[in-house]
Amino acid sequence: MAEKSETVNINVQLAERLYPLKVLKSDEEKVHSAVKLVNERIKEYQTLYDGKDKQDYMAMCLLNFAVEHENLQNSSKDNSLLLEEKMIELEKVLSGQL
């Protein structure tokens, strides 16, 4: 039985360039999925912005993912604050009932 911390060597291709990686066995499928997503996004940029080089497409992709990450972090913080407010309201209601 494989341990969760077991690593595997894989090769991935991003923007037509091969990269050897060592990843956790448990993350291998996620890495391949992420590579597919990045390559799809690069293809989108290639159709939208003709004439750029691969590095430009990679930079655009990186920036796009960074903005998405920031949006998710902000959304998560907003949800945490909302949950905290609701819990305080619930505590007040329960305290009033006791």
Domain limits, the chain: 7-97
User: The pTM is what?
Assistant: 0.71
Burial track 48-82 (b if 16+ CB lie within 10 A, e otherwise): eeeeeeeeebbebbeeeeeeeeeeeeeeeeeeeee
What does the pLDDT read at residue 81? Answer: 83
User: Is the pLDDT reported for residue 12 higher than 60?
Assistant: yes
CB 11 within 8 A of CB 19: yes
What does the pLDDT read at residue 47? Answer: 93
What does the pLDDT read at residue 7? Answer: 97
pLDDT, one tens digit per residue, over 37-79 is: 999 999 999 999 988 899 999 999 999 999 999 998 888 888 8
What does the pLDDT read at residue 75? Answer: 84
Q: Which two tokens stand for residue 55?
A: 């590095």
